[in-house]
Amino acid sequence: MRILFTIFLVLFISSCDSAYVWEEGRYKVNWIDVYENRSLGYYLDDGFKVPRIGREVIAIGSNKEHIVVMQFDKTTGSIKYYYIIKALDAVETDLSPGIKGPYSLEEFSIIKVKNKLPEFSVEFK
């Protein structure tokens, strides 16, 4: 019985995998269980994650003022674009005035030039 319990415990612990695939300060893209579950969060001192952009984040970039995020929406099959104004990101809430989007590619292309947003520097495959 003890051996069965040990085997079950090892399988249970090893079945939940995760990793950070992009970090800038307290902003991190991570995945849990499967790589396609990538999402962007802001991490507090206690390690608690405040969600910023849900899964599936497929590209990201940043500069001193902004973070740009490309997300694949599995429900619609479309790609959505967001940007975060770091100075306005109220990390205490999920509904932050610093998070802008979702936008279509056409909308985002105009906004990107107007606001001097950074390029996408990392693509997740």
Query: Which sequence spans correspond to the domains of the chain?
Result: 18-123
Q: What pLDDT, on the 0 to 100 scale, is given for residue 1?
A: 60
Residues sharing a CB contact under 8 Å with residue 30, sequence separation 6 or more, in sequence order: 18, 19, 20, 21, 38, 39, 41, 49
pLDDT digit string, tens, across residues 76-96 = 999 999 999 999 998 776 678
Check: CB of residue 41 under 8 Å from CB of residue 28. Answer: yes
Amino acid at the residue 102: P
Report d(CA 51, CA 33) in Å as an integer: 17
- pLDDT interval class at 26 (50, 70, 90): very high
Kindly report the pTM of this predicted structure. 0.83
